[in-house]
Structure 1
Amino acid sequence: MKKVFIYSFLILIAACTSNKNFQKANQQVNRNTAANQLAQQQIAPSKPAVVAMKTRYLLKDSSSVRIFMELEVENLNKGQVIQQLNDNFRFNWLLQSDYGIRDRLASGKIDINEQNLLLRDAKVTLSFDIPRPKNAAKGLLLTEVFQLEDNKKSNNDLMIDFYGNRLSDRFGVFIGNVDIPIFKNYINKRDSFQLKSVLNHTRELFLIRYKNDFLPAQSPMATSIRPSIPSLTIEEIQRVQANSYIKLANEGLYQVVEDTNATNNGFGFLIVDERYPRYTKPELLSKPLIYMTTSQELKIISDNPNAKQALDKFFLTITAGNQLVSKKIIKSYYHRIEEANRLFTTFKEGWKTDKGMVYIILGPPNKVQRSRDREVWVYAQNQNFSEIIFTFNRKPNQFTENYYELVRYPEYQAYWFPFVEAWRTGNVVD
């Protein structure tokens, strides 16, 4: 009987051991399965997605216009750009008479091939021609990128003057030997560039350099509005030839014109240092602090001959000596400065513009509504604020058609100062 008990006990132990081994093995299988699934998710490439798009145009001749489209596409394999774009997207265009008029002057599909595609600066640029509709002086071009997998659409709108009244309708800035004009309004001074038309017309043009000392944007609550462009001082005029390479050593604001007596019909750009749109020099880093400092704080920073010391002292003061929070604020704030320069530079640096100011403090809007002469930025309601709306009116000038000024209201104070305080306490998420 004792032997039977011992034998039964040994069987029970063996069974328990086997069951534990089975459980361990099963757990290991589950872990391996989960790991394999995770590995497959990590290995499986994400689908390409369009995150931003821009368009511009140059008149080709009296019957057609050359359109240039710049796309920022995530998850794009640089070795399979054409195939991935054709497999994942459809590109279309539609020409209407104007905003709010749903007519169809012309439409078409944009083909993607080696002849009209270029990968430049991690961005995809496309070019295609559209015909000029009969008797049409102007038209609204709507370009659409349709993502096949999730039916998501990305759109862009562009007003076209088929008469080409402005020089910028006919000539663009081309860097290097690339046949696509730049979309930005600044050129790094290390770069050689050409002023060219689509059909490479040869002609004499003029470059005018102005003194560039524009002030930063006024606060959204400002009641006395100063002129966007004060009186300008010409520092230099030089003749240049279209299609010839140009390299400018002096930084500043330049304007391209056909006639020095008709400066209203031209276009402008900035010649900037090699690091722009990023700022790294302490003397440049201090000026954009105007949006998050008091006038007294900014004066103390400006009066200190040691710009780096002044910056360090300011950030450590507002964070009560907390170096980690100071570093977080510095990193986030100057990333916004860089983005504002990249996105909004016109005849002055992007951070100085009204759009740049709002972007720096509040970040990118949740929604943008555009019409011919107005752009509305909408910031969604959250637990602290109701919906915030900023309206920018287009103010064309001798340098650009795409300069916008903010419609200012004293009521913005209730929203603005809490956001500024969030910056000063390190509570802004970039």
Structure 2
Amino acid sequence: MKKAIIYSFLVVLAACTTNKKIQKAQKEINKTVAAKPAPIPVAKPVVVAIKSRYLLKDSASVRIYMELDIENLKKDQVAQQLNDYFRFNWLLQPDYGVRERIGSGRIEITDQNILLKEDKILLDFEIPRPKNLAKGLLLTEVFQLEDSKKSNNDLVIDFNGNRLNDRFGVYVGGQSIPVFRNYINKNDSFQLKSVLSHPRDLFLIRYKNDFSAAQSPMATSIRPSIASLTIEETVKVQTNTFIKLSQEGLYQVVEDTNSTSNGFGFLLVDDRYPRLTRPENLVKPLIYMTTSQELRAINDNPNSKQALDKFFLAITSGNQMVSKKIIKNYYHRIEESNRLFTSYKEGWKTDKGMVYTVLGPPNKVQRSRDREVWVYSQNQNFSEIIFTFNRKPNQFMENYYELVRYPEYQAYWFPFVEAWRTGNVVD
């Protein structure tokens, strides 16, 4: 009996000792697990924006160029990541709303047809040129494999090549892809080239560039989009040769100086554009957030910097912190408007640039061949706002849009302007 009691005691003691060892070991494991940092999730590449344009190559094909803004790409593995995460497809149909398929295919991504430039992916590929089709709509789809998300881009193609920029593009520096913007910085040298680089003479016409800013969305009086133009200079140039211009302003590339309707235009701007940095240039965009009396006082002051300081301190009751916040956010919107909407005039002066500056990017954009609709979603401060822009081609570009104006916009517009003046807009 005594032996049994001693044996039981030893068993219990051994169990307690073993349990303590297990608990101690578990604590060590827990310490190790706690000390080991959790793995940082890897951000997947995601498409932010797409731009596209084309050049007719020959009677059989069209060269398509795309500029893609894709976040979280490793710069040394661009082609590999694009193939790992995305599929690129194209579809050609006669027009918006017409589902007839004229052609389709997959866009192959290789090191030979992509280029990384200023954090943008430049991609080019070719599609067959259909017979007996004057115009077509090219729909490009970027399909994200992981979550099946699609990013789409639409591009109307004139297969007859009626305009000069259907056949010739502006190539800055030694780039192999034409620019997607309508401005060239003053220090840039550029070439005018076709896909097959056929040499020929063209003409550059420089116009006096002093266009007005967009009228408010409530101004329903008709005003011509382009007033009479004054030609200041005409220069003959040759394609495939580098050109460098010294005079800022509006230029038009034409085949014949007696027929300018089918040419295309661009602005030659200072090297800091799309940013505005000179005080005399910073004054002008204030038209969208000032009264006529305030704007007159600013323009009457010969010292632009002083005029700016006085205005911003006046609307913020001398609060320098709020003034700096307004200045930073407002001129960032102006810069983005220049980047996105520059046409024959600075981007902030266009109808789209004005709406973008005051209200910011729309929540949704709906496009058709001749119309673009911007939708700003309803929130606690206002109901859904819709701006309609109609395409209005001119001698400088095919895709220029003008806003359809209504007096009813006043109910929405002035509260947004007041939000800017009180520093309540977050960019």
Q: TM-score scaled to structure 1, two decimals?
A: 0.92
> What's 1:81 paired with?
78
Task: Please point out which of 76, 90, 107 is paired with 1:93.
Answer: 90
Task: For 1:99, give the aligned amino acid.
Answer: Y
Provide the secondary structure at the position in 2 that maps to 1:141. Answer: strand
Provide the secondary structure at the position in 2 that maps to 1:130. Answer: strand
Report the Cα offset of residue 317 of structure 1: 0.6
Provide the secondary structure at the position in 1 that maps to 2:37. Answer: helix
Provide the secondary structure at the position in 1 that maps to 2:332. Answer: helix
Task: For 2:66, give the aligned amino acid.
Answer: M
Task: Please point out which of 323, 328, 334 is paired with 2:325.
Answer: 328
Q: Distance in 2 between matches of 1:200 and 1:223?
A: 46
Q: Distance in 1 between matches of 2:239 and 2:198?
A: 7
> What's 1:32 paired with?
34
Provide the secondary structure at the position in 2 that maps to 1:128. Answer: strand
In the TM superposition, what whole-angstrom CA distance separates every residue of 1:399-427 from its partner, at most 9, and x where no partner exists?
A: 00111000000000000000000000000
Report the Cα offset of residue 134 of structure 1: 2.4
> What's 1:128 paired with?
125
Report the Cα offset of residue 45 of structure 1: 2.6
**Match status 1:232 vs 2:232:** no
Q: Among all aligned residue pairs of Structure 1 and Structure 2, give the percentage whose two residues are the same amino acid.
A: 76
Task: For 2:68, give the aligned amino acid.
Answer: L
Matches for 1:18-417 after TM superposition, within 5 Å: 29=31, 32=34, 36-37=37-38, 40-41=39-40, 44-417=41-414
Provide the secondary structure at the position in 2 that maps to 1:384. Answer: coil
Count residues in correspondence. 404
Report the Cα offset of residue 122 of structure 1: 1.1
Report the Cα offset of residue 384 of structure 1: 1.1
In the TM superposition, what whole-angstrom CA distance separates every residue of 1:118-150 from its partner, at most 9, and x where no partner exists?
A: 111210011000001222111100000001111
In the TM superposition, what whole-angstrom CA distance separates every residue of 1:171-220 from its partner, at most 9, and x where no partner exists?
A: 00001111100000000010000000000011000000000000000000
Provide the secondary structure at the position in 2 that maps to 1:236. Answer: strand
Q: TM-score scaled to structure 2, two decimals?
A: 0.92
Q: Distance in 1 between matches of 2:294 and 2:98?
A: 51
Q: Distance in 2 between matches of 1:410 and 1:425?
A: 24
Provide the secondary structure at the position in 1 that maps to 2:57. Answer: strand
In the TM superposition, what whole-angstrom CA distance separates every residue of 1:18-50 from its partner, at most 9, and x where no partner exists?
A: 9xxx9xx79x949936x822xx22xx4311111
Following TM superposition, the consecutive aligned residue runs of length 4 or more in structure 1 with deviations greater than 4 angstroms are: 28-31
Change (3 A) 1:258 1:320: same
**Match status 1:424 vs 2:426:** no
Report the Cα offset of residue 329 of structure 1: 0.3
Provide the secondary structure at the position in 2 that maps to 1:136. Answer: coil
Q: Distance in 1 between matches of 2:315 and 2:127?
A: 55
Change (3 A) 1:29 1:286: farther
Change (3 A) 1:303 1:195: same
> What's 2:15 paired with?
none
